[in-house]
């Protein structure tokens, strides 16, 4: 019998052994995952092969990014199909084609920016419908920075002094960012919440009741998938109401979690969860119809 998780309309069977790595390869920590329109899966991980691409069946397609990343952390697709990838150790956000051609770097390699400026250990990237780039920044800052598609800086919001805060619009480690229908969702990790903003950075809503949220993905049906570092996966509506969740205690058992860090859903509704710390894997959950 398959391992079944979730509940109701959001019930899943674990696809054990899904990711077929080349012989001798292994994931170290799968920090982020993204799925393109053909359901190819991009695993951004901290092995010597930073970006590993699989087809929907889990077959290896290609890898790239070798020598370009110090610590994989977050990624997203730009509107032209290229990828933006955040490195939380070398203080940069880099743009690549899907086949691994380096296009652009934002930030100064290996140099943290001045307080409140881009970047000091950035964590993730999201792209708005107009092409603007939103960066959560991150471990060394408490800011969201916005750039146009060419990489020109536009504005920021959050605390300029870099100290953690608890009020609306404050951050305590903005760990991940997602944009859906012109709303900006920020996983405010150490405040244990998701905050929602408009594209100009005005606060719209706060979702409590998470345990160190690390990643949020919102699908076309207005369903949010939240990975939580403390070993849990939550699925919510866009008011933050939990529809289903599973996990909680750290374990390497199949279908459970040890530090979810990257979340994405493919066109079939199947869920992919990358894990860090002792997790160091990418699990696929097939949605039960």
> Does the pLDDT value for residue 103 go beyond 80?
yes
pLDDT digits (tens, 9 = 90+) for 207-219: 999 999 999 999 9
Beta bridge partners of 157: 144
Name the DSSP letter for residue 20.
Answer: B
Instruction: Specify the pLDDT at position 160.
Output: 76
Q: Looking at domain 29-230, which CATH architecture does it have? A: 6 Propeller (2.120)
Name the DSSP letter for residue 288.
Answer: P
pLDDT digits (tens, 9 = 90+) for 9-57: 999 999 999 999 999 999 999 999 999 999 999 999 999 999 999 999 9
- Contact (CB, 8 A) for 116 and 153: no
C-alpha span between 255 and 284 (Å, rounded): 9
Q: Which tokens in the block code for residue 133?
A: 């780039």
Residues contacting residue 187 through CB under 8 Å, at least 6 positions apart = 136, 174, 175, 176, 177, 194, 213, 214, 215, 216, 226
Instruction: Specify the pLDDT at position 174.
Output: 98
Q: Is the pTM of this model over 0.85?
A: yes
- Contact (CB, 8 A) for 42 and 35: yes
Instruction: Specify the pLDDT at position 226.
Output: 98
pLDDT averaged over every residue in the chain: 97
Beta bridge partners of 32: 44
Interstrand relation of 30-35 and 223-228 (parallel, antiparallel or unpaired): unpaired
C-alpha span between 180 and 165 (Å, rounded): 25
C-alpha span between 51 and 102 (Å, rounded): 13
Instruction: Specify the pLDDT at position 289.
Output: 83
Which of 200, 155, 150, 194 has the alpha carbon at shortest distance from 172?
Answer: 194
Instruction: Specify the pLDDT at position 163.
Output: 79
């Amino acid at each position: 019998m398959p391992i079944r998780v979730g509940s109701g309309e959001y019930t899943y069977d674990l696809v054990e052994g899904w990711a077929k790595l080349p012989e001798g390869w292994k994931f170290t920590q799968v920090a982020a995952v993204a799925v393109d329109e053909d359901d190819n899966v991009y695993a951004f991980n901290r092995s010597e092969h930073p970006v590993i691409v699989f087809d929907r069946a889990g077959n290896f397609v290609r890898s790239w990014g070798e020598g370009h990343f110090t610590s994989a952390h977050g990624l997203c697709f730009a509107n032209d199909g290229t990828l933006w990838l955040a490195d939380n150790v070398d203080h940069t956000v880099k743009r690549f084609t899907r086949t691994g051609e380096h296009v652009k770097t934002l930030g100064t390699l290996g140099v943290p920016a001045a307080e409140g400026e881009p970047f000091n250990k950035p964590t993730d990237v999201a792209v708005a419908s107009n092409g603007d780039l939103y960066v959560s920044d991150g471990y060394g800052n408490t800011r969201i920075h916005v750039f146009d598609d060419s990489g020109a800086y536009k504005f920021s919001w959050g605390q300029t002094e870099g100290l953690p805060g608890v009020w609306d619009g404050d951050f305590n480690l903005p760990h991940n960012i997602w944009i859906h229908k012109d709303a900006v969702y920020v996983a405010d990790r150490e405040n244990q919440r998701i905050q929602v903003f408009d594209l100009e950075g005005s606060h719209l809503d706060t979702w409590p009741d998470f345990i160190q949220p690390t990643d949020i993905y919102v699908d076309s049906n207005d369903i949010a998938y939240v990975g939580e570092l403390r070993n849990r996966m939550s699925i919510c509506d866009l008011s933050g109401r939990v529809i289903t969740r599973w996990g909680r205690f750290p374990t390497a058992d199949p279908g459970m979690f040890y530090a979810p860090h990257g979340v994405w859903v493919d066109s079939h509704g199947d869920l992919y969860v990358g894990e860090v710390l002792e997790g160091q894997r990418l699990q696929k959950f097939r949605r039960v119809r």
